[in-house]
Amino acid sequence: MLQQSRRDTGIARNWKCILICLAMSLANFQYGYDTATIGGFQAMAGFLAIYGYNDPKAKIGWNITTTVQQLITSFLNIGTIIGVVLTHLWGKRFGRRHGIWIASLISFVAAGVQIGTEKLVGLYFGRILIGVSNGFFITFANVYVAEVSPAHLRGPLVSLFGVWVSIGSIIGATVNNITKDYTSKLAYQIPLATLYGIPLILSILVFFLPESPRWLLMLGRDECAKQSLTRLRGTSFEGSEEMLEEEFLEMQRGIADELEKSKGRVLKDMFKGTELRRTLICFGVILSHSSSGIWLIIGYGTFFFQQAGVTRPFLATILKSFMGLMGVFTSIFLNYRLVGRRFSMLLGHGGSTVFMLGMGIAASIPGDSAASGKAILGCALCWYFVYNGFSGAVSWPVANEVVSSRLRVVTIGCGTAVNYVFAWLTSFTTPYFINSRELNWGAKVAYIWAGSNAITFAFLYFFLPEMRGRSLEEIDELFQNQVSTREFPAYHCLSAQVAREQVSKRAEEFKPERNLGDTKTRREMV
């Protein structure tokens, strides 16, 4: 049974919060755009003329050494690891909005370094910097949206991560397709120059967005938190202002309980008591990104398609991103009312297992390489639709809501860091499998990812509970009461009920004062 809160005021009345979340989620565009462009550079003559070498046997007359190929992509992951490790220290003191500002500044520097250099060391340094900025963008944007969203819209709104990543990938791949035939440095400098756009827009937008009320409550700034929540909810509770008070009191009480139980040792608290279960689920969900095989496609997509015999690899990369975007839209529609997080995650990795296996089989059958390339492309497009839509996008709401507010940034940061260690490992080893000068497996490497997706499916089946429709404070209660995975959907939580009783009690206490002519409003009493 999926939960439906009395605070479920639909979509139209929450337009203000939706626009705010849409603006903050724009940070994820940068991540999608960058990964799409750098993956395409490795199949561009203009880029390879500087960072590669002449190879008459290669399809475009140029090739790139395995070492350079490894480092270009893996240094991005190293930078992201550095970034997400720093998010806790930054976020604890400066908040979510300022995290986006610092990420934008680092992104400006990273783009400039990559455009201006012709040395590998400069390119590598730029990749590390862009990774640091991506780490800040991903963590703070998704944590912010998870914390400010109404419970009934949290899944779709955090899933905007997938929308912006896919749009970024489509535009990045399209720009690459336009500049791919340039034989000069402009082939890759033009796509890199456009990296300035999104950070500039974000730097302006974030100035107008309210800070996360849960973060403000963590600092004891209750009045600011109440003002922030009021701005976020807009007119969604118009005519039922007591529901705004109810939500604020539930947040306030939940944060107070967390702070009372904490001992100030954040990293240790992640692995103690009921928090251990939450941390392990969060880590497993975030690691599902690497286990899906996503870095095979986004890190080496165009090069991979080229090596697999796909006749138009740049166009294939655009189609791949478009299919991912359609998958996310389909998932958001279904997740709003029809299906839950658990079903989506299982569908995403179950489908990924099947389509990765299909790519491996298509590459193993001897015969017409053109037919094999079409089969590989078809499986890759279907894989990206089902993974990006039903697991890739939904994993971020799940990862953010499964952990407590006090530990959210540090747990998401550590989980993302661990994930990018595996992403780095994938990026570093993949060229050995797919490069024609090494093992030359091509699409047969998909067999590995079929197995890892099957393992991920098993983990999710046994350990991931359904949390759709629950407030973050209700999820805290479910874990504190050690509710089993199977009992999550039907369990009756008391968090919202207690907050509702508090609001009613305050209203009753306030009635005599109003009868005596007191003009204070109910909002002033909270």
pLDDT in tens, 287-303: 998 899 887 776 566 66
pLDDT of residue 525: 33
Instruction: Choose the weakest-confidence range: 140-144, 268-272, 496-500.
Output: 496-500
510 and 454 in one domain? no
- The verdict on residue 241 lying in a domain is no
Average pLDDT over residues 239-267: 76
What is the extent of the structural domain holding 160? 12-222+248-487
316 and 277 in one domain? yes
What's the domain count of the chain?
2
482 and 408 in one domain? yes
pLDDT of residue 159: 83
463: Cα separation from own chain's centroid: 21
- The verdict on residue 352 lying in a domain is yes
Place of tokens 């880590």: 283
First to last CA, the chain: 34
pLDDT, one tens digit per residue, over 82-130 is 888 888 778 778 888 888 999 999 999 999 999 988 888 999 999 999 9
Average pLDDT over residues 339-360: 91
Question: By the 8 A CB rule, do 130 and 76 touch?
Answer: yes
pLDDT of residue 262: 66
The Cα–Cα gap between 291 and 308 comes to 21
Instruction: Choose the weakest-confidence range: 92-96, 370-374, 396-400, 521-525.
Output: 521-525
392 and 476 in one domain? yes
pLDDT of residue 500: 67
User: pLDDT: is 240 or 120 the higher one?
Assistant: 120
503 and 445 in one domain? no
520 and 446 in one domain? no
- The verdict on residue 232 lying in a domain is no
Instruction: Choose the weakest-confidence range: 127-136, 279-288, 333-342.
Output: 333-342
pLDDT of residue 462: 93
371 and 511 in one domain? no
Average pLDDT over residues 229-249: 79
Query: What is the pTM for the complete model shown?
Result: 0.75
- The verdict on residue 236 lying in a domain is no
pLDDT band at 3 (very low <50, low <70, confident <90, very high): very low
In this model, does residue 397 exceed pLDDT 80? yes
180 and 266 in one domain? yes
pLDDT of residue 138: 86
pLDDT, one tens digit per residue, over 46-93 is 888 888 888 777 667 777 887 887 788 778 878 888 888 888 778 778
- The verdict on residue 47 lying in a domain is yes
- The verdict on residue 240 lying in a domain is no
The Cα–Cα gap between 309 and 385 comes to 21
The Cα–Cα gap between 42 and 303 comes to 6
333 Cβ contact partners less than 8 Å away, ≥ 6 residues apart: none
pLDDT of residue 508: 66
401 and 271 in one domain? yes
The Cα–Cα gap between 272 and 268 comes to 7
User: pLDDT: is 269 or 191 the higher one?
Assistant: 191
pLDDT of residue 516: 38
265 and 282 in one domain? yes
pLDDT of residue 315: 77
With the CA atoms of 99, 105, 111 and 117 taken in that order, what torsion angle do they form, in degrees rounded to the nearest 10?
Answer: -130
| E strand intervals along 58-138 | 62-63
pLDDT, one tens digit per residue, over 152-193 is 888 888 888 888 888 888 888 888 888 888 888 888 899 999
> Which CATH number does the domain housing residue 368 bear?
1.20.1250.20
Mean pLDDT highest for which of 104-113, 230-239, 422-431? 104-113
Question: By the 8 A CB rule, do 201 and 164 touch?
Answer: no
- The verdict on residue 177 lying in a domain is yes
Mean pLDDT rounded to a whole number for the chain: 82
436 and 509 in one domain? no
- The verdict on residue 3 lying in a domain is no
The Cα–Cα gap between 403 and 390 comes to 21
In this model, does residue 460 exceed pLDDT 90? yes
150 and 44 in one domain? yes
pLDDT of residue 251: 85
The Cα–Cα gap between 367 and 271 comes to 53
Closest CA to 502 of 250, 297, 255: 250
pLDDT, one tens digit per residue, over 462-488 is 999 998 888 888 888 889 889 898 888
